[in-house]
Every structure is written in structure tokens, then in C-alpha cells.
Structure 1
Amino acid sequence: MSKTASRAYPNQRLQIVFGIDNAFTTTDFKRRMRFKGIASRHLKQFDTEWRSAGEDARFFVKQRLDQAKEGVKVAPLIQVLALRLSLQAIHDVDVTTIDDDDLSFVAREINRLWVSSKKNSTLEHWSQQFKLHGALDALCPDSECSIPEKNALNLILPSYETLWRIVLRCFMEVAFCEFTDRKVLWRMRLSKFLAEPSFTNLEDRGEWGGSIYDVVREALRLYPPTRRVYREFQYEGRAERELVAADIECLQREHPKNRQLSEKDDPVFHPQLWVRHEAEMNEGFMPFGRDKFLCPAQAKFGIWAIAILVASLTVEVGTAWQLRPNPVTRNAPLETDREAYLNLVLRRM
């Protein structure tokens, strides 16, 4: 089969469950390239909006924390935060005018349907998701949920679905690690980047030697947004296709050179490795894919989106909130299962 078809066939369940037709599901090479071009243009046009996006994200987090009586579930908060940024960047939506209930419902339903499609042999059908259609139509009036090529989820899924999980884990590692001095330093660096999003503030290593760029890359190494990549192959003389998985998460964590770089007492989440061994760390590093299937977000958007959202959360949470329970430890990576940490709560000190 062609490379496009080899990737598309394992994703057929997404067409059934979400009613989409995008680069991940089509077997048409030209259709895939058109979709990639559209996504790339949207992301590039967003380059002038990072400051306002950061201000909006910080205000939204502050508002949610101020309204909290007993605590705030951190995963749903980050899901909505990531969906807002996705709508801003991909669909040019003014998120200050949309209904928070619609946002929360869409974020929650996307995650529920995704998990259900992985666990159950009988798939829920997109044509029956009437309430989700209505919420999406309210958020993106230019989309048509009943037409796969015009479904807003074509662009929302690859931007939002991969973003919220890496933001959650990067935020947890940065804001709730055991090292008080690092937490203070990271908060200062993130605050500076949030106030003035620039390559200088993203990549500044200062006296400590670790930049926000290093922090984000280390989070992407340990917690790649796509943990496994699936392909189907058709071999000559065999009627059935074979499904093969590449374990990106294992590759990035267990790359032979990476194992040799870390000292015995180094923590698992260790951005300093990028300062000491950047060339070696880049070997086997592919959180945005590789070659012909390189994600358009790799050029800039992916790193900046993670940094902006983690910064807005870390700065607003500050030292006034605790994560309960706190699963962050220096000796082991966080869980990467999609349903892990959905019930963690931020509570006031």
C-alpha cells in the first residue's frame, strides 16, 4: 500500500466515531497535502497572536480559580484551556464570546468518545451525537458536522486532543516537583515568557542553564502526544493486512544514548540533559513525527502552545494551590494513560 493508505486504514474508527475526513483518515495523497497546507497556514497566521492568547489563557485560569469553592479538577480545566487555544488558532474563533458550557461539553465528549473507541469493539456512530453536533455548530458556525470534509473536528482533533495531555503533565512536573528552587526558577522564566512571548525568552538559559524550551522538550520526550504510531501493511500472497505499532514513548525514553547520558542521581524529568547533550538527545526524538508525516505544529506552534498554557497555569497557581493527590516524583515518570489523573484536584493552601 501507499504510505498514505498505510496510515489511514488504522484510523478508520475515527471516521465512524467523529465523522471526520482529514490527513489522518484519507487514502488520497492530494487530499492529505491540501489538509496539511490549510493547517500550516492557520498556524503560521497565529504567530502574531501569542501575547493576546497568553493573556486570555491566564485570565481564564484566574477566573476558574477565583470561582472555586473547594477545589478545581485540573484535567478538565486544562482540556478547556487547550480547546480554547485550538479554536483561536485553527478556526479564528473569538473565545471571549463563546459559552463555557459548550466548551466543557465538547472537550469532555471528545475524550469520552476517544476512550470508548479504543476500549469497545462496537463503535458509537457520529450521526447519533446530536448534542455534540449542536455544541460544535455553536462554537464554529462555519463548519458543518454532517459533512466529513467540513467537520470542525478535522482540525480540532489533531490540535486539541494531543495538546491537553502534554500540557497537563508538563504543568505537573514544573509546578509540583520536589525541587523548590527549580519551581521558583521555572515560574520566573515562564512568567517572563508569558509577558513577552519571544524566542529570546523561550530559549534563555541564564545562569542556571535550563530554558523553557528545554523544559518543554523534556516533557515531550517523556510524554509524547502520540505514544504509538500505527500502520497497516499488505504483504504479497496474503489476504489479510497486518497492523504494526511503533512505540514512540518507549523509543524516546529508552534510546540507548539517552540512557547513558543521565547520572545516577538525576531525576527522571531532567531538562538539564538538553543543556549538556542536545545533539544526542535529539536522536530518536520525534514527538511531532518524522519525514513526510511531520506535523505542521513542529515548526513553532507546538512548542509555543505548550509553553504558553503551562505558563498561564503555573503563574496563576503559584504557591497558593496544592495538587491533591500529588503523583509527581523524581524517580519515575508520570502515567501516560489517557484516563490517568482525570480526578486530580487543585486545592488552596
Structure 2
Amino acid sequence: MEPILLAFLTGFILAQAIRLAKNHNIPIETHYTALLYISAAFYWLNFLNDWGYSTIGIALFITLGAWVGDMPGWLLCAPVVPAKQEEKCFRTAEVDECREVVKSGTPAGEAKNAIPGLEARARPNQRLKVAFGVDSCFTSSDERACKSFRDGVEKLLYVDEAEWINYGDAARATARQALDVESDSTSLFSVVQLMTLKTMMKVLWPDQFFEHITNEQISTLAHEVNLQWLRSKEGSDNSDDPFWNFDKQTPFKDAVKTVFPDWDETDSKKNPCNLILPGYETMWRVVLRCFVEVQLKESFFEADVPVTAAHIAKEALRLYPPTRRIYREYHDAAGQKTNVSADIEAMQRDPVIWGDHPKLFLPDRWIDIAEGYDHGFMPFGAKPFNCPAKRWKNVPMPFGISMIALLVGALIEATQGKWTIHGNFPDKTHPLDTDREAYGDATLQRL
């Protein structure tokens, strides 16, 4: 019986040693593990065959010992949870550091990023690829593909004044339709989401006719995009195949397919979300907060100062940037990874840059600021990754500022003297909450 026990203990001890090595982060490749077991088996086969034991019997007892040895609960192999290596992180709100983060992903005081700028941007955005099935400049490090995507977007955004009149007509009509309800109360979220997405559909798909698509279907898509964004950000499932994987979100995919029935699901480059995310998802929250600020603090219209729609839109972009933080990935020469972020919201509220009351919505601060000013103002990113919506030179109208002003103006016109806002808003001495779900219960109440 003793030789059989020795075979069993051999398998047991080998399994224990391998388990301990792995628990303490000592790398043991699978083929080396197999080699250990095979070597032990051959040794005992040679030795025990002389004792008259069968080859199969010896192999079985070594295997049995290994199986028992790999079970949790034994003194030697009790799970030792290795200390998880903390990911290095760097966040800054300092202007020059923010620019460098956006440009190359390089933190302050570090050598130049070992990975290219496009790749430093694309890596943190892979979540978008999983959640929305997109393949765009935000998720790709292919320089040619990124240039092609950007060129296509610029052609859509840089249009003449006549087209802007059409956008205005569309926004006004949508605002009236959204408020044409029997109830004396309606969701502010829903109205703003519908207006923003439907108007941006006219911009981004100018040759496509959506007359057969109802406002309800567009609202459903807008709502599903928002829900999917929140699901992907909550961080409770970071597996390789999370529950919020695009392919698993049937209601979301159905909403996309309803509004874009010709969408080929197998072609990620033609996914409508490639344009919906930067064109709608990043804009509607700015429109919402700008509208609320105007409704709550109309006093700047009464002041004897020439405040314009552009000033109001810029102040909304300053206080409530579309992207609160811009993320990059940094690798040093040794390959050590650091998660890097530029805190745009904090930078744009810095009293050193913006003087008194940097957290208050004061559009008149822009009266004496020159066009194109960007020191501490980066709602559309920074070179070389400026959003096309930022451009103000050699274009009929700067798209981002103009579209926010247009949508807010259309909603003010539709509600003026007819509807008022209700919600848990802060007093006039504090900014609005910038959490993505904040004011989800805010309503427009009929007067």
C-alpha cells in the first residue's frame, strides 16, 4: 500500500506547489505544469513497476493526488489572494497639462508616451466599441480611417446659412410637436432628447428621409442610447463579455433598427451610433442645462449689457462641458500603464482662469473675450484632436456653439408664456448638478 500512497502524495504535492506559485504570482506556464506531472508519472512508473503495480493504477493515483491537492481548503493550498496591483492614475485640471494629456496622453513630469497619440485615445474608448458596436475615430488608432471619418463629419457640419435656417425650422417644429400633449406635465428630459436627436439626424443624414419615423420612435432611440451609456459606465460588469454588450441589448438594437431600417448590423463602420454618440449624446445634456439656467436666471437679459445667444451657449459649454473628463492611456518605456485624464470641468471652473464666481452661469463674462479664446476653455478638446464642432475660422458658423444656441432658443420660444420648469434645482448661487442622471424627474408644467 505504501508505494500507492507515495504516488498519491506525489500528485498532491505537485498540485500544492503549482497552486502556491500561482497564488503568489509566480508564473508557471501550462506546458511546464504538464511536464512536471508527466515527469513524476514516469519516475513512479519506472519505480513501481518493479513492485508489480499496473501502469494505469499508478497514473490514476498520481492524478487523484493532484486533483485533491488542487482543491481549496488545505493548509498549503488555501487560497492566497495576491494583492492586486494598483493601476497608476493621473488626473489634472491645469491648463498646459490638460493640453498635453489630450495631445499625447503624457502625464506631467513623465517622458513622452511610448504609444502614439491615436492609440492613447483609442484604448480607453474600447468600452464604446463593446457597448455600441461602433468603429470610428474614437475607437480606432488607424490614422487613415480617422482622417476619413473626420473629413466626412466636417462636410456634414460646415454648411451655409440657408441650411441653418432649415435646422432652425426643424428644431422649432419638433419643440411644438413635443409639447403638443394632452397632459399638463411632460418630461423635460424627453423633450430635450427628442429635439436634439431629431435635429441632429437632419444634420448628420441630410440625404435620408425620416418622414415615416415617428417622434415616439426617435424618443425611444434617444432614451435607449442614454440608458446604454449609463449601463456601460456603471462598472459593475467589467468582464470580457459584459451584460451591456451591444449584441445583448435587444431593445437598444431594435430602437436603432426602427429609425435606421437599412442599417447593416454586420458593418460596424456604418453603425448609426458612430455619429449619434458625438452628435447627440454629448450635446443634449448641455442643451438641457443651458435651457434650465436661462429659465431660472433670466436677469442677465435685463442687464444693460449686450449678451448674445453665442455668449449664453459658450457659458453653458464652459460650466457644463459635453465631456467632463478626457481619458488617455500612457505607457512608459518599460511598458508600465497609467490611466490619464484631463479634468475639463474642473479646469473650466478654475478661479485663477475665470476670476470671481467661476461656478456661476454668467454669460456676460464672454462679452470682452475674443473669438476663438481657448485658454482654459476646451469643451471640444484640444489640438490635434479638436472636435470638428469647435472650428470657427473659415466656416459659415461654428457648429457646436450655434447648434446649442439654436436648440435652446427653439425650446424657449415654444415654452415662453405657456410652460414653466419644475425640478429639484439648486439656488442661484450654485451650479447645476452635472451627474448624467441629474434632473431626470424634472418636468415642464403647463401654465
Q: What TM bracket, shorter-length normalisation?
A: 0.7 to 0.9
Equivalent residue for 1:250, pick from 317, 325, 346: 346
Equivalent position SS for 1:291: coil
For 1:96 and 1:173, how far apart are their aligned partners in 2?
Answer: 33
* 8 Å Cα contact 1:177-1:328 kept in structure 2: no
User: What is the deviation of 1:329?
Assistant: 3.1
- Does the aligned pair in 1 maintain the 2:301–2:307 contact within 8 Å? no
| Alignment counterpart, residue 164 of structure 2, candidates 50, 54, 67 | 50
Change in 2 beyond 3 A, CA 1:90/1:142: farther
Segments of structure 1 that go 5 or more residues without pairing to the other structure are 186-206
- Of residues 65-74 and 335-344 in structure 1, the stretch that sits farther from structure 2 once superposed is 65-74
What is the identity, as a one-letter code, of the residue corresponding to 2:198?
R
How far apart are the structure 2 equivalents of 1:132 and 1:280? 38
Please give the secondary structure, in 1, of the residue aligned with 2:435: coil
Matched, 1:97 2:212: yes
**TM-score, length of structure 1 as denominator length:** 0.86
Answer whether contact 2:189 2:288 (CA < 8 A) is retained: yes
Deviation string 1:23-79 (CA, Å, 9 cap, x unpaired) is 100011111111111111111247532212212221221222231413011012111
Q: How many residues align?
A: 321
Q: Which residue of 2 aligns with 1:28?
A: 142
Deviation digits for residues 292-329 of structure 1, max 9, x if unmatched?
10011112211111011000101111133221125153
Match of 1:210 in 2: 307
What letter matches 1:107 in structure 2? A
Provide TM-score, normalisation by structure 2: 0.68
Amino acid in structure 1 at the alignment position of 2:264:
E
Specify the alignment match of 1:150 in structure 2.
270
Q: Does 1:62 align with 2:62?
A: no
The answer to whether the 8 A contact 2:423-2:439 is kept is no
| Distance in 2 (alpha carbons) for counterparts of 1:63 and 1:168 | 18
Partner of residue 288, structure 1 = 380
Superposed displacement of residue 223, structure 1: 0.5
- Give the share of equivalent positions with the same residue, in percent: 35
Partner of residue 79, structure 1? 193
Contact 2:224 2:255 in 1 (8 A): no
Paired residues of 1:4 and 1:27 also in contact (CA < 8 A):
yes
What is the match of residue 318 of structure 2?
Answer: 221
Secondary structure of 1:82's aligned partner:
helix
Cα root mean square deviation, aligned: 2.2
State the alpha-carbon separation in 1 of the partners of residues 386 and 351 from structure 2: 20
SS at match of 1:114: helix
Task: Report runs of 4+ in structure 1 exceeding 3 Å deviation.
Answer: 45-48, 93-97, 182-185, 276-282
Closer, same or farther: CA 296–47 of 1 in aligned 2, 3 Å: farther
- Alignment of 1:297 with 2:389, yes or no, is yes
Aligned to 2:229: 114
Deviation at 1:252, TM superposition (A): 0.8
Match of 1:273 among 327, 345, 365: 365
Distance in 2, matches of 1:42 and 1:34, equals 13
> Which stretch has the larger CA shift, 291-300 or 273-282?
273-282
- For residue 335 of structure 1, what is the aligned residue in structure 2? 433
* d(CA) in 2 for partners of 1:38, 1:105: 27
Q: CA deviation at 1:106?
A: 0.9
Instruction: Find the aligned partners of 1:94 and 1:280 in 2 and give their Cα distance.
Output: 35
Question: Which has more helix, going by share of residues?
Answer: 1
Aligned to 2:59: none
Amino acid of the residue matched to residue 97 of structure 1?
A: H
Structure 1 Cα separation of the partners of residues 426 and 419 of structure 2: 15
State the alpha-carbon separation in 2 of the partners of residues 148 and 175 from structure 1.
41
1:198-223 Cα deviation digits (max 9, x unpaired):
xxxxxxxxx62211111111111100
Cα distance, 1:279 vs structure 2: 7.9
Kindly indicate whether residue 348 of structure 2 is the aligned counterpart of residue 233 of structure 1.
no
Structure 2 CA distance for partners of 1:267 and 1:160, relative to 1, 3 Å: closer
What's 2:294 paired with? Answer: 174
* Match of residue 315, structure 1, among 386, 389, 413: 413
Report the AA paired with residue 39 of structure 1. V
Decide whether aligned partners of structure 1 residues 166 and 242 sit closer, same or farther in structure 2, where only a CA change above 3 A counts: same
Amino acid paired to 2:332: Y
Could you tell me how far apart the structure 1 residues matched to 2:233 and 2:432 are?
21
Higher mean C-alpha deviation, range 268-277 or range 218-227: 268-277
Question: Relative contact order, CA 8 A, sep 6+: which one is greater?
Answer: 1
**Structure 1, residues 136-161: CA drift from partner, whole Å, max 9, x if none?**
23323453233211111111111101
